[in-house]
């Protein structure tokens, strides 16, 4: 017998962080003990515009940061900071009102250091030549599954 599957729509995302050691250039307001600059992000694997269904992404940083709850309301849903240590970043993805969906709540371990030679850390050669900058990246793929979306939201998902 053929089984009737309930309707669900999934959308791929990637989330994670890039980081690199700060060399010569530092943001003027960066505390002296900060050694790295990093960016945490939520985005579409092919650069899709996630704002068609995501209203905001809230990144909750370590309590050592001033105003650790950072809300990003427009794409790109990313945040760049400086720091010295790795920690768990709490990510909350809030969907547009039409979705009538609960937010997604998960964690990403902010990665600053290369752990293994030749593995993930990508050595990017500066286009100008001279010093190679070692950028580490920790990135994960996931699919957001909307089960039985309401009609309005379904239309929005299908038209984007
Ligand atoms: C821990 N892994 O769990 C450590 C915490 C905290 C990182 C690392 C700078 C914050 C600031 C920063 O990198 N904090 O602006 O002072 O205890």
Full-model pTM: 0.88
Report residue 160's pLDDT band, with 50, 70 and 90 as the boundaries.
confident
Ligand 1-lining residues (CB < 6 angstroms): 31, 62, 64-65, 83-87
- The interface predicted TM-score (ipTM) is 0.90
- Which numbered atom of ligand 1 lies nearest the CA of 31? 15
Q: Is 160 helix (H, G, I), strand (E, B) or coil?
A: coil
Model confidence band, residue 25 (pLDDT cutoffs 50, 70, 90)? confident
Q: Which helix (H) or strand (E) holds 151?
A: helix 151-158
- Please measure the distance between the N-terminal and C-terminal CA atoms of the chain and give it in whole angstroms: 34
Ligand 1 atom closest to the CA of 86, numbered from 1: 2
Q: What sign does the CA torsion over 114, 119, 124, 130 have?
A: positive
Q: What is the per-residue pLDDT for 114? A: 82
Residue 42 in this model has a pLDDT that exceeds 60:
yes
Residue with the smallest CA separation from ligand 1 atom 15 is: 65
Cα dihedral sign, 9-55-51-151: positive
């Amino acid at each position: 017998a053929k089984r009737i599957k309930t309707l669900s729509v999934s959308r791929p995302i990637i989330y994670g962080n890039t980081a690199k050691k700060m060399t010569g250039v530092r943001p003027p307001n960066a505390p002296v003990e900060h050694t790295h600059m990093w960016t945490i992000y939520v985005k579409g694997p092919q650069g899709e515009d996630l704002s068609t269904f995501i209203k905001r992404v809230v990144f909750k940083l370590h309590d050592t940061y001033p105003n650790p709850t950072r809300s990003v309301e427009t794409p790109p849903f990313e945040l760049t900071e400086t720091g010295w240590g790795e920690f768990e970043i709490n990510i909350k993805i809030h969907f547009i009102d039409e979705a009538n969906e609960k937010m997604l709540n998960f964690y990403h371990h902010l990665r600053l250091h290369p752990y293994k030679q030749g593995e993930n850390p990508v050595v990017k050669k500066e286009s100008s030549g001279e010093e190679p900058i070692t950028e580490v990246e920790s990135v994960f793929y996931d699919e957001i599954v909307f089960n039985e979306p309401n009609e309005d939201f379904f239309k929005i998902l299908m038209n984007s």
